[in-house]
A and B are shown apart, each in its own frame.
Chain A
Amino acid sequence: ETGVTQTPRHLVMGMTNKKSLKCEQHLGHNAMYWYKQSAKKPLELMFVYNFKEQTENNSVPSRFSPECPNSSHLFLHLHTLQPEDSALYLCASSPIGQQGPSTTYGYTFGSGTRLTVV
């Protein structure tokens, strides 16, 4: 399978539950990202990993905990979430390499996990 795969596609969880979102990419990219997109709102960057090292945490509450065991896999561990955390969670990946402008270093997004917190 190629591209960026996210599982599960849909998740309903209670506020006291613990769950994890998984992202896997088969593109040979070295950067991976978690984004949150609430209904009718823009993308919000949550975390950035570069060669499995976290390079950015965009003031995300500690109830969201990322994990990047290698350059191909990214997890988002969830615990004691709030209803306002219900959103579409998107994983993306991109290459890191020579910075020539002619190279298409766009992101490839996964299909997302639709999370509902009840």
Chain B
Amino acid sequence: QKEVEQNSGPLSVPEGAIASLNCTYSDRGSQSFFWYRQYSGKSPELIMFIYSNGDKEDGRFTAQLNKASQYVSLLIRDSQPSDSATYLCAVRPYSGAGSYQLTFGKGTKLSVIP
């Protein structure tokens, strides 16, 4: 059973601080990792994608991947109240039938306090 684990939160950070969201996964063969943002009552939107060990930066967002530790994280610098949302971690397995399907974590709710 492939599992993706996230702390449900809520994670509260002050405006301007760095928010750190974490995700672990059970399938060691997983190859692609995604972060989605979901505002309350809205659909998830893809904000980051990473597949190589290390860091990937896009604006205020940095995704970090450590395949040896089966760990992926999302850092949000200079957090804004508009970043308040639930962040979903998703993992794509290595290969084989169904490898296009993603396994989603339950999400971490982030609250940025003005």
The reply to whether chain A is a binding partner of chain B is yes
Write the residues of chain A forming the contact surface with B, with a CB cutoff of 8 angstroms: 31, 42-43, 48, 50, 55-56, 88, 90, 94-96, 99, 101-112, 114
**A96 to B101 CA separation, bound complex (whole angstroms):** 9
Residue among B46, B98, B107 making CB contact with A107, cutoff 8 Å? B46
B45 touches A107 (CB 8 A): no
Write the residues of chain B forming the contact surface with A, with a CB cutoff of 8 angstroms: 31-32, 34, 36, 41-46, 49, 51, 88, 90, 92, 95, 98-102, 104-107
Cβ of B99: which chain A residues have Cβ within 8 Å of it?
99
Cβ of A110: which chain B residues have Cβ within 8 Å of it?
43
A31 with B100, Cβ < 8 A, contacts A42-B106, A101-B51 known: yes
Identify whether the interface residues of B are mostly helix, strand, loop, or mixed: loop
**A107 to B92 CA separation, bound complex (whole angstroms):** 11
A108 with B100, Cβ < 8 A, contacts A42-B106, A42-B107 known: no
Identify whether the interface residues of A are mostly helix, strand, loop, or mixed: loop
Seed contacts A106-B46, A112-B43; 8 additional CB < 8 Å A-B pairs: A42-B104, A50-B100, A88-B43, A90-B43, A99-B99, A104-B32, A106-B34, A109-B43
**A95 to B36 CA separation, bound complex (whole angstroms):** 17
**A105 to B31 CA separation, bound complex (whole angstroms):** 11
A105 touches B92 (CB 8 A): yes
Cβ of A88: which chain B residues have Cβ within 8 Å of it?
41, 43
Cβ of B49: which chain A residues have Cβ within 8 Å of it?
104, 106
**A99 to B49 CA separation, bound complex (whole angstroms):** 15
**A110 to B88 CA separation, bound complex (whole angstroms):** 16
**A96 to B102 CA separation, bound complex (whole angstroms):** 12
A94 with B34, Cβ < 8 A, contacts A42-B106, A114-B41 known: no
Whose C-beta in chain B lies nearest to the C-beta of A55?
Answer: B98
**A88 to B99 CA separation, bound complex (whole angstroms):** 26
